[in-house]
Copies of this chain bind each other. A is one copy, B any other.
Amino acid sequence: MDQKTPADEITSRRRRRAPKKMRAQPLYQQVDNIIRRRLIENVWKPGEAIPSEMQLAAELNVSQGTVRKALNDLVAENLLYRRQGLGTFVSEHTERRALFLFFSIVGSDGARLLPESRVLNCVEDVATKAEAERLELEPDDEVVRFHRVRFFNDIATIAETITLPLEHFPGFGTEVDPPNNLFRFYQSVYGITVAKADEQLAAVSASEEEALLLGIDTGSPLLEIDRIARMLDGRPVEWRVSHCDTRNYHYVAERG
């Protein structure tokens, strides 16, 4: 657990109080990057505690305050969380995290609830042009593509299409059905942590197929959420297009 990683050494790049000038990057950002790299490389796994401030400071040859600033920045990004008296931990995709960080559909009364899911089908295929572009793949790369319907209190409300790069998810969906909380599944089974997501929203008309699935009229207005989920290093890992019946639920956002 305590192996030194020479590539991580700060001292090799810049001695404390030595050159006095030409600092490429602030120390705390170097520390931030080192920790970030270890998270990406799964040196510290989700749910685990990482070394204490004092230990990191000693290992990296910086002061405790510098480590603290780096850690607090990572906490602000939701990559870590800290508990006084206990330690600093790597964030994991719990139900709660999924609900408040990555799921924005709430009831008219403001109640937050994760919908249940039913998978309709799941195929492996060559990426379409659109899929390759959105997921930043080469033209002939393969993907897993599946459709599902999501239910609030047994009422079909969301129809979605999800595409994953097969490269990162070998054997996905062929053995077991994809579970409801996908991000937790990606993390626990494939070691892939979704760190952020970019969403584009628009209003569309329900197709015949969607109307059937959701029990509404063809042409009814649906809220389209087009989302790219990204790993810790920013690379895309999932493209999801959700069509939501917003008569009893709506999407929420805060600005400012």
A interface residue numbers (CB < 8 A to B): 76, 78, 101-102, 104, 194-205, 219-224, 226, 244, 246, 250-256
Instruction: Decide if A252 touches B200 in the complex (CB within 8 Å).
Output: yes
Q: Whose C-beta in chain B lies nearest to the C-beta of A253?
A: B199
Q: Is the CB of A255 within 8 A of B202?
A: no
Q: Which residues of B contact A251 (CB under 8 A)?
A: 200-202
Q: How far is the CB of A34 from chain B (nearest CB, A)?
A: 21
A221 to B244, CA, bound (A): 13
Interface centre among A201, A226, A246 (most CB of B within 10 A): A201
User: Provided the pairs A221-B204, A221-B222 are in contact, do residues A199 and B256 lie with their beta carbons within 8 angstroms?
Assistant: no
Q: Is the CB of A197 within 8 A of B256?
A: yes
A246 CA to B256 CA, complexed, in Å: 23
Instruction: Report the minimum CB–CB distance from A187 to chain B (whole Å).
Output: 13
Other-chain residue from B199, B219, B221, B224 in contact with A254 (beta carbon distance below 8 A): B199
Chain B residue at smallest Cβ distance from A245 = B203
Interchain CB contact (< 8 A) of A101 among B201, B250, B256: B256
B104, B203, B220, B246: the one within 8 Å of A246 (CB): B203
- Which residues of the partner chain B approach A220 to less than 8 Å between Cβ atoms? 205
- Cα distance, A150 to B240, chains bound together (Å): 30
User: Interface centre among A198, A244, A253, A254, by most B CB within 10 Å?
Assistant: A253
A96–chain B nearest beta-carbon distance, Å:
14
Interface pair A202/B256, CB less than 8 Å apart: no
Find out whether the CB atom of B221 lies under 8 angstroms from the CB atom of A205.
Answer: yes
Q: Are B255 and A104 in contact (CB under 8 A)?
A: yes
Kindly list chain B residues whose C-beta atoms are within 8 Å of the C-beta of A221: 203-205, 221-222
5 extra A-B contacts, CB within 8 A, seeds A203-B244, A221-B221? A101-B255, A102-B256, A199-B252, A203-B246, A219-B219
| Bound complex: CA A200 to CA B108 (Å) | 10
Quote the shortest CB–CB distance from A227 to chain B (angstroms).
Answer: 8
Task: Name the contact of A200 in the complex, choosing from B200, B203, B250 (C-beta under 8 A).
Answer: B250
Contacts A203-B203, A203-B246, A221-B221; A196 near B102 (Cβ below 8 A): no
* Distance A194 CA – B49 CA, assembled complex (angstroms): 40
